[in-house]
C-alpha cells in the first residue's frame, strides 16, 4: 500500500508540474514566463491569437538568473505539407532560437527575473502563423530555455539542423548536437489557424 501511495504521489507531482506538453520529451518542470505585450502565458496550453503572438515575447524565470541562456520556440503541430495539411503528416516546425539571454536587473516583487538579449539568432524571431485548417486544430507552440555553455560556439551539425531542418526538427537530437544539457524551463501556448 505504502509503495502505491508513494507512486501515485510522484505521478501527481509529475503531472501537475510539467511545463511541457504531454508526450513531449524532455519533460521540463520549471516554468518559463512568456509574456506577449500585456498577455502572460499563465498556464500551459493557453489559447492566443496570431495577432497576440506577432511580436517576440518577454521571457523570465523564477529567482535569480546568473547564467547565460538560449531560448527556442517550436511548433509541435505543423505539417509536412504546408499548402495542403490534409495531404501531409504531422511534424514539428522550428520557429526561433535566440542566444545570449541574461538577467535584466533584479528579480521583480513576484520573484521573476526578466531575461534579455540583443542577439537576433541563430534563428531570428518567426511568429506563429498556422495556416487555416479544416477542421481547425490548435498548434502547441513550445517555449524552451537552456543554460548556454560558457563561450558557446554553435557546432556546425547543430547549426545545420537549425538552418535547414526546421520541418521535423528533433529537439533531442539538437541537444546532443549542440552540446547542451536538458532545458531548464518551459511553457507552451496554443494558436489555431
Ligand atoms: C528524435 O530522434 C530520436 C533518435 O535520435 C528518436 O528516438 C526520437 O523519437 C525523435 N523524436 C521525435 C519527436 O521525432
Give the distance (Å) from ligand 1 centre to CA of residue 42. Answer: 29
Strand 90-103 with 69-79, pairing: antiparallel
Which residue lies with its CA nearest to atom 7 of ligand 1? 172
CA-92 nearest atom, ligand 1: 13
Work out the mean pLDDT of the chain and round it to a whole number. 92
Give the distance (Å) from ligand 1 centre to CA of residue 25. Answer: 9
Q: What is the pLDDT of residue 108?
A: 86
Q: What is the pLDDT of residue 10?
A: 53
Q: Would the pLDDT of 179 be above 80?
A: yes
- The string over 91-128, giving b where at least 16 C-beta atoms fall within 10 Å of a residue's C-beta and e elsewhere, is bbbbbbbbbbbebeeebeeeebbbbebeeebbbebebb
Q: Which H or E element spans position 15? A: helix 2-17
Cβ 181 under 6 angstroms from ligand 1? no
Written as nine digits, the cell of 103 is 538577467
Higher pLDDT, 1 or 147: 147
Written as nine digits, the cell of 154 is 554553435
Q: What is the pLDDT of residue 9?
A: 52
Q: Would the pLDDT of 139 be above 50?
A: yes
DSSP state of 85: G
Q: Would the pLDDT of 160 be above 50?
A: yes
- Which CATH number do you get for residue 26? 3.90.280.10
Q: Which domain holds residue 117?
A: 2-192
Which residue lies with its CA nearest to atom 13 of ligand 1? 170
> Candidates 26, 92, 172: which one to mutate for ligand 1, based on the most atoms within 8 Å of Cβ?
172
Q: pLDDT tens, 84-137?
A: 888 889 999 999 999 999 999 888 888 999 999 999 999 999 999 998 888 889
Number of domains in the chain: 1
Higher pLDDT, 3 or 138: 138
CA–CA separation, 158 vs 149, rounded Å?
14
CA–CA separation, 56 vs 115, rounded Å?
13
Per the DSSP assignment, residues forming a β-bridge with 74 are 94, 142
Residue 14 confidence class, pLDDT cut points 50, 70, 90:
very low
Q: Which of 149, 128, 148 is nearest to 192 (CA)?
A: 128
Amino acid at each position: 500500500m505504502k509503495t502505491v501511495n508513494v507512486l501515485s504521489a510522484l505521478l501527481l507531482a509529475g503531472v501537475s508540474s510539467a511545463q511541457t506538453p504531454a508526450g513531449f520529451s524532455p519533460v521540463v518542470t520549471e516554468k518559463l514566463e512568456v509574456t506577449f505585450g500585456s498577455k502572460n502565458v499563465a498556464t500551459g496550453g493557453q489559447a492566443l491569437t496570431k495577432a497576440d503572438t506577432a511580436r517576440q515575447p518577454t521571457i523570465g524565470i523564477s529567482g535569480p538568473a546568473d547564467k547565460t541562456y538560449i531560448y527556442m520556440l517550436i511548433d509541435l503541430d505543423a505539417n509536412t505539407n504546408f499548402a495542403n495539411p490534409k495531404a501531409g503528416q504531422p511534424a514539428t516546425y522550428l520557429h526561433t532560437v535566440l542566444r545570449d539571454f541574461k538577467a535584466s536587473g533584479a528579480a521583480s516583487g513576484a520573484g521573476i527575473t526578466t531575461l534579455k538579449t540583443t542577439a537576433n539568432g541563430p534563428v531570428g524571431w518567426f511568429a506563429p502563423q498556422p495556416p487555416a485548417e479544416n477542421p481547425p486544430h490548435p498548434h502547441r507552440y513550445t517555449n524552451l530555455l537552456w543554460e548556454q555553455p560558457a563561450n558557446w560556439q554553435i557546432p556546425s551539425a547543430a547549426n545545420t539542423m537549425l538552418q535547414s531542418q526546421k520541418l521535423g526538427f528533433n529537439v533531442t537530437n539538437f541537444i546532443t548536437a549542440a552540446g547542451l544539457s536538458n532545458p531548464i524551463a518551459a511553457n507552451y501556448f496554443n494558436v489555431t489557424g
